[in-house]
Chains A and B, each alone.
Chain A
Amino acid sequence: MALLEVENIHSYYGNIHALKGVSLSVDKGEIVTLIGGNGAGKSTTLRTITGIMKPHEGHVRLEGNDLAPFKPHEIVYKGVAMVPEGRRIFARLSVAENLEMGAYTLTNKSKLNQNMERVYKLFPRLKERRSQVAGTLSGGEQQMLATGRALMADPTVLLMDEPSMGLAPVLVELIFDTIQQINKEGTTILLVEQNALMALSIAHRGYVLQTGEIVISDTAENLKQNVTVQKAYLGME
């Protein structure tokens, strides 16, 4: 049984049919990537999984349980955490306060400290700047913070929406190394990316989303070889 299963979901923004029967699954311990161009519906898929949007049709299941009856904040308690598109850190709070916010679902103080240590180990930069106002961090540091904040909740599944957006290649590499590290430590990851090359280099499997539909699904290796993918997303002729 897949840890996270999306089955034939249809989502709408008013009359706009943004997702037209998307299905995908993520197994425990995997990194699965969802690639696609602008407006393909990648963020919409994540929004539907986290319950912020309710699908008109179809199901989202976590460990076999349908998430439909649950509110967004309840889904967080079930172990789904998200690193939102564009980072969305709490700009006026300090780095440490941002991380504490991420641990809102935890009631155990020592668990919180333990997770904070883990995040600081993954991102030593954040530890150095823990009392800095988050809005004054650099773009890369903000992405680290957004990732660290999501990890604070001890998620079983981590949803990441375009972590490479607007970052220099060196930083993208660093972030992706850390994603791999997080995965090795036991967190399952669904990674939404436009930077297909990077995403496929760390993912086990991948899906290609085009105007609200999954058009290809395969292992990362095969996707890298796939001619359509190479043309459309890897910039090869």
Chain B
Amino acid sequence: MHTKSISPWKEAVQAGLIAGAIAVLLNLVGMTTAFSGRYIVSGWFTMGQVLFLVPMFILAYTTARKIAPQPAMHTALAGLVCGVIGSAVQAGLVLLGQVVNLRAMFINASPQLFEILTFGRDLPGLLLLLLAGSIMGVVGAVIFLLPERLAKSVLQALLWILLLGLLRDLVSTVTAQWVIKTKAFPDWLGWAGVLITSLSTFINKTIYSASGLKPLSAIVLFLLVGAWAYWRYGRPKRARITGPLTRRQQTQRVLGLGGIALLFILLPSILGIFFAEILDNVGLYILMGLGLNIVVGFAGLLDLGYVAFYAIGAYAMGVLTSPELGFFNLTFWEALPFALLATVIAGVILGLPILKMRGDYLAIVTLGFGEIVRLLALSDWLRPWLGGTQGIQRIGQPTIGSIILDSQQDLYYLFLAAIGIVAFIAWRLKDSRIGRAWMAIREDEDVAMAMGINHVATKLLAFATGALFSGLAGTIFAAKLHSVYPHSMNFLVSINVLSLIIIGGMGSIPGVFVGAFVLIAAPDLLREFAEYRYLAYGALLVAMMLTRPEGLWPEERRRLELHEEEGEVPLGEPPPVLNTPGG
């Protein structure tokens, strides 16, 4: 049973140590404790337990894959080793906590954490911890041994259970407000009211318990999702559509798009007030993402100061409309074209000095530009115009006729309209001559020039378009809050937008939507996550780069390039994260 290159036992020990380290990290930053109250399956296990046990599961699975092919017994044993070591490391943490006062350094190494790790049974509970860890390791390794189709289905079903369990509170909030809405239904819709009410009761009383899924429904859901996934993975892959669409495909596509549009229009009504705020936030980031996607994704110009244009849009709207400053007192719609013009000009002004820069230099200079704009907004020097630290209040709100668009729901539709227009423009630009010029500049600027592309105009246009979209987001943001403050224009906004593009898929328009929902909506939906937002972003980015560097919804070409022939990404070859043409 000697292997030539890698020793399975060494791998298993290593994986166990890594799993233990990850779990200890999650424990010490407080995530385990924060999620300990949230049951996934009521009475069975909480999200906190998932956090400190799942690392062993994942690492056992990856180890099994790494050391394959091995006899089944060895794979299971390797999983066991990984699980035991991973949980032993945590047991070590608990023991250490008994002797030394860890709290002096790690505020989260609290008695509560130790109670969670020992399943509330003091030191004997450590045996339970070891047992749970071993089970995790063995199960993780054994899943790998299943036929691929079955393994994928099981994993998917597990993920769904986790997700559905986590979303319990949200689902119950949503369904509760459905029931309230049915009260206002006219008589002839009474049957629908009854239907909705009983659906809501079914969801809240039968599927879910007061916290998490009910055990029985968890099992049923697991089987249902698993069977569905199993069926889906068995289907032959749909061939990519090439050439002109047939009549039927065309109707399908139109119906599909229409369905999505209708869904988005009805979304605030379906989800209720609580979600409108979150959706507005997502909308804001989608707008900015679509803009930055042009600059970074299409043209390959890494801009880290993107928040500057957002700030300029918002401040321009403030200066033009606020009666407090009293310069112009325009209405929102009157001010909009001027504010947008200002951002476009800013885009060109930033673009000019950095035309010759590439890659890292470009990133640093744009970063500086973002900071300069923020500092100018903060400065005493410009206080009479921009309000300094106080910002600008009483910014004009958009109106339609005599209706003021000020509720979250109204603003949602404003965002929706803006996104519709911007996404359409981005989509058309992408397939245009300009889009091709951007692509050429992104791939190789010198050669692009040799193809007859005017690199100055092309780059400036990318910056200007990106600035325009971001500026539009800024103006709506100003109108939404009724005010602007310099502190909301910080560097993290740029980073968020960049991250969402990377996660969605560089250069992909649907990717921007997916990325915004994942990065912006998810932390808002799970309040416990909010505190660990950036930790989660970091972990997500690393995980993505390792397993899916092309993003969640990649542009077709990126997928082709990174997964030739549906093969795996070659290991050891760092994926191109950002395209920064050599400088």
Contacts and interface: CB of A to CB of B under 8 A. Distances in A.
Contacts of A81: 450
Contact of B557 (A52, A71, A92): A92
Interface in B403-434: 433
Contact of B450 (A84, A92, A94, A135): A84
A91 B230 CA distance: 37
A91 B443 contact: yes
Interface stretch (A99-107, A116-124, A195-203, A223-231): A99-107
Contact of A104 (B437, B443, B444, B558): B437
Chain B interface size band reads 20 to 34
A100 B452 CA distance: 12
B451 A102 contact: yes
Contact of B440 (A52, A77, A101, A136): A101
Interface string A125-145: 000000001011000000000
B243 to A, nearest CB: 13
Given A101-B440, A104-B437, A104-B440, A77 B452 contact: yes
Contacts of B448: 101
A72 interface: yes
Interface in A65-80: 71-73, 76-77
Contact of A50 (B433, B439, B440, B450): B450
Contacts of B450: 50, 52, 72, 76, 81-82, 84
A32 interface: no
Interface in A83-100: 84, 88, 90-94, 100
A209 interface: no
Contacts of B564: 133, 136
Contacts of A136: 564
Interface in B442-466: 443-444, 446-455
A153 B452 CA distance: 9
Interface residues of A, number: 26
Nearest to B457: A73
A133 B452 contact: no
Highest count of chain B CB atoms <10 Å: which of A93, A100, A101, A105: A101
A91 B582 CA distance: 14
Given A100-B436, A136-B564, A92 B443 contact: yes
A25 B439 CA distance: 35
A73 B454 contact: yes
B447 A88 contact: yes
A137 to B, nearest CB: 13
B561 interface: yes
Contacts of A91: 443
A136 B564 CA distance: 10
Nearest to B443: A90
Nearest to B558: A92
Nearest to A153: B452
Contacts of B451: 73, 76, 101-102, 104-105, 149, 153
B180 interface: no
A104 B453 contact: yes
Interface in A208-230: none
Interface in B284-343: none
A73 B453 contact: yes
7 closest A-B pairs (Cβ-Cβ)?
A76-B452, A105-B452, A90-B443, A72-B449, A104-B451, A73-B454, A88-B447
Interface of B: 433, 436-437, 439-440, 443-444, 446-455, 557-558, 560-561, 564
Given A91-B443, A104-B453, A135-B561, 16 more contacts: A71-B454, A72-B449, A76-B450, A76-B451, A84-B447, A90-B440, A92-B443, A92-B558, A93-B439, A94-B557, A100-B436, A104-B433, A104-B451, A105-B451, A133-B560, A153-B452
Interface of A: 50, 52, 71-73, 76-77, 81-82, 84, 88, 90-94, 100-102, 104-105, 133, 135-136, 149, 153
9 contacts: A73-B453, A73-B454, A81-B450, A84-B446, A90-B439, A101-B436, A133-B560, A133-B561, A153-B452
